[in-house]
Structure 1
């Protein structure tokens, strides 16, 4: 059995009693309210996964508030989003990230010398969502809108360690096995084929560094599912690029003692998959580029590592050797478990990721500061009631949807989706 602990606390699932944990969490959440934050593009609200997420959230009495930050191109799309989430029993805020009211608030902030409008994508959505969620809750769980294996155990496991005061945990990160179903195969290509060999190569290149040891302690550093206290949410900078998950871990590293950080087992997990891309400007290759830029910046910032072009070339050489070794190990693991595994294709992907290293290095040399959204405490220093303004704007946007006197807009229609049990198996319908 796996009892292994890391630099951070690893919370295993040895067959935990979810009903008992839920009963305790419902009680704890009365004094320490909880929230779930879901950043999403409108397109994700038309896919089956979000239907399953909504249906499971309905049963989560320990979640008091749900905040959805949606990027919608039209009023009709936003209206459908509000209608879709109106079935939730929790107090629900659907932020129209690029709507007129929210944009006007951010423009006013820009006029005061603090620009958030320059940032796009998931980073800005998370930043906006944390603003409202931190008003409503003392603990916030965040996850994406594309999880096909979602069930109530996900928010339960993420939130419980934060509310159990004896634990002293302020940040809890998910880890899991990324396994595809049709066919059964290993997923999580960036984590397996880029980040893992990259961290090993960086350690060989720069020697023992506490930050690299810290990142290596995470079993799935790229997971998009985590929970944090509202205090922490206000004091961390959110990365504004595809290196969000790694960049966020750097912020946690700067802000918390390691004993206040945990990771928890969510079991079998799957969600939508990105394309590899044809260059470092696209798809997973762009993600790898942004991840490495974040790592290089944080090594300089926290470990006083001076990085030159020779280091980048050496890193590329070391990465190739490490990636090849890991590919062989994945092959053995997959074959033993009767998982489909194309070893040649995996090698091809690692070679594509390897080429990204040079591009990432050049971008780091030209812009070592990176792209990070200022933390909420700085924004509140500029506009003290900014969170309240944002919440009021969202309530007005949602109020207009509910009060609209026009022909009924067709709701989002999603195909049936299997409801997964707590062990990742399909529950009886």
Structure 2
């Protein structure tokens, strides 16, 4: 039995009574309502995962509201997603984050010297959705739209440690086993073969006393896209705009929250769509690793006394491989014992590729001075006091316009 606690509170699943938890949330949500943000691309509407998520959310009566942060290329795609979520019985809103109305608001923001038009992707969509969701809930949960193992208790597990006054956490991170039980394969490659050995490299070889590094190492799955936080915290942190979103958010939470107000919760087995490696750092896992490494080095520069230099980054790339190869031996043993398919040679290839990306990124780190963090919402509202309501109203106007289109058609 795993009773281990980390520097942050670890909430294990000792056969949690999900029904009991949801009943308690139902009562508590009268005072501390919980909402969910789901960032998604249009293409995800075609997956079985999204239908499963909607079916399970309809059983989650404890939720106050759901905000879907949508990236769609045109109005036809937006209408299709809008129609799809028509089967959702919980109050919800589809925010067309790259639609004309939202874009007009972003252009207006530039006049207040709050220009985020150069940002794109999931981080920007999440930022917009936070503004909208803040109008509805005390606690905000986030999860992706491609979860194949989704159930109605997942949002409850994320929200309960925050909504329950006796616990009163400000931030709760999900962790889980990245095992595909159908194919008997071990996934979570970027975490297992990159992030974990990268953090271990810097701790053991550079700075064992760093509170930031020890904090990051305390999370069992720092790249998890499933987490929840109070509305107040969400409005006070800066959102990374690239694949460094999850790790960058942990850095923001570190700067803005006491350690005793942070927890992580066991979400059980978890599976979603898997990225290919990609031919270069512009796509797939390669881009993800590149962005995560840049985010990690930025966090070191901002929150530690470590001097970031080319020799330092070169040392990391060399030592990283040693720790990764040690882990591969351990994962291999774990896989054999559990009768999982495990291609040790392929794992070694991943490590070689990741090490090369570190080598390339160490040069780009000093060249790239572009901003990667969106402004916090407190600053945005001080510049434009009704900004979150404008985003909400734009989303409602999109919905009304395209719903009329469908009824006329």
Task: State the TM-score bracket (shorter-chain normalisation).
Answer: over 0.9
Counterpart of 2:395? 394
Counterpart of 2:207? 207
Distance in 2 (CA, whole Å) between partners of 1:181 and 1:10 is 24
Distance in 2 (CA, whole Å) between partners of 1:280 and 1:102 is 30
Distance in 2 (CA, whole Å) between partners of 1:85 and 1:251 is 32
3-state SS in 1 of match to 2:235: helix
Distance in 2 (CA, whole Å) between partners of 1:363 and 1:405 is 48
Instruction: Select between 99-108 and 364-373 the one with higher mean Cα deviation.
Output: 364-373
1:216 aligns with 2:217: yes
Q: Deviations over 1:222-248 (max 9, x none)?
A: 000000110011011000111111001
Distance in 2 (CA, whole Å) between partners of 1:349 and 1:23 is 44
Task: Tell me, yes or no, if the aligned pair for 1:294 and 1:370 is still in contact at 8 Å.
Answer: no
Distance in 2 (CA, whole Å) between partners of 1:335 and 1:50 is 33
Distance in 1 (CA, whole Å) between partners of 2:255 and 2:368 is 21
Distance in 2 (CA, whole Å) between partners of 1:269 and 1:349 is 22
Aligned 1:163-202 pairs, distance under 5 A: 163-202=163-202
Q: Deviations over 1:138-177 (max 9, x none)?
A: 0011000000000011101000000111112010000000
Give 5+ residue unaligned stretches, structure 2. none
3-state SS in 2 of match to 1:69: strand
Instruction: Report deviation, 1:287.
Output: 1.0
Distance in 2 (CA, whole Å) between partners of 1:155 and 1:268 is 15
Task: Tell me, yes or no, if the aligned pair for 1:174 and 1:223 is still in contact at 8 Å.
Answer: yes
Aligned 1:103-182 pairs, distance under 5 A: 103-182=103-182
3-state SS in 2 of match to 1:30: coil
Instruction: Report deviation, 1:111.
Output: 2.1
Task: Tell me, yes or no, if the aligned pair for 1:297 and 1:368 is still in contact at 8 Å.
Answer: no
Distance in 2 (CA, whole Å) between partners of 1:62 and 1:328 is 44
Counterpart of 2:78? 78
Task: Tell me, yes or no, if the aligned pair for 1:9 and 1:263 is still in contact at 8 Å.
Answer: yes
Task: Tell me, yes or no, if the aligned pair for 1:293 and 1:370 is still in contact at 8 Å.
Answer: no
Aligned 1:90-105 pairs, distance under 5 A: 90-105=90-105
Distance in 1 (CA, whole Å) between partners of 2:138 and 2:183 is 41
3-state SS in 2 of match to 1:273: coil
Task: Tell me, yes or no, if the aligned pair for 2:314 and 2:362 is still in contact at 8 Å.
Answer: no
Q: Deviations over 1:200-253 (max 9, x none)?
A: 111123222111100000000000000011001101100011111100100000
Q: Deviations over 1:342-375 (max 9, x none)?
A: 0011001111001111222222222367511111
Task: Tell me, yes or no, if the aligned pair for 1:297 and 1:370 is still in contact at 8 Å.
Answer: no
Q: Deviations over 1:317-363 (max 9, x none)?
A: 11011000000000000000000000011001111001111222222
Instruction: Report deviation, 1:73.
Output: 1.2
Counterpart of 1:8? 8
Counterpart of 2:229? 228
Q: Deviations over 1:99-136 (max 9, x none)?
A: 11111001100122111211111001100110010111
Task: Tell me, yes or no, if the aligned pair for 1:96 and 1:394 is still in contact at 8 Å.
Answer: yes
Instruction: Report deviation, 1:407.
Output: 6.0
Counterpart of 2:26? 26
Counterpart of 1:411? none
Counterpart of 2:55? 55
Going from structure 1 to structure 2, the CA distance change for 1:305 and 1:38 (only over 3 Å counts) comes to same
The number of residue pairs the alignment matches comes to 408
Distance in 1 (CA, whole Å) between partners of 2:347 and 2:221 is 19
1:301 aligns with 2:302: yes
Instruction: Select between 223-232 and 108-117 the one with higher mean Cα deviation.
Output: 108-117
Counterpart of 1:363? 364
Q: Deviations over 1:8-56 (max 9, x none)?
A: 0000000111111111000001111111100000000111100000000
3-state SS in 2 of match to 1:287: helix
Task: Tell me, yes or no, if the aligned pair for 2:176 and 2:266 is still in contact at 8 Å.
Answer: yes
Counterpart of 2:45? 45
Distance in 2 (CA, whole Å) between partners of 1:176 and 1:197 is 18
Q: Deviations over 1:274-313 (max 9, x none)?
A: 1111222321111111111111111111112211111111
Distance in 1 (CA, whole Å) between partners of 2:196 and 2:30 is 40
Aligned 1:293-332 pairs, distance under 5 A: 293-332=294-333
Distance in 2 (CA, whole Å) between partners of 1:18 and 1:138 is 21
Distance in 2 (CA, whole Å) between partners of 1:177 and 1:73 is 34
Task: Tell me, yes or no, if the aligned pair for 1:364 and 1:370 is still in contact at 8 Å.
Answer: no
Distance in 2 (CA, whole Å) between partners of 1:80 and 1:279 is 33
Task: Tell me, yes or no, if the aligned pair for 1:12 and 1:264 is still in contact at 8 Å.
Answer: yes
Per the normalisation by structure 2, the TM-score is: 0.98
Instruction: Report deviation, 1:405.
Output: 5.5
Task: Tell me, yes or no, if the aligned pair for 1:54 and 1:88 is still in contact at 8 Å.
Answer: yes
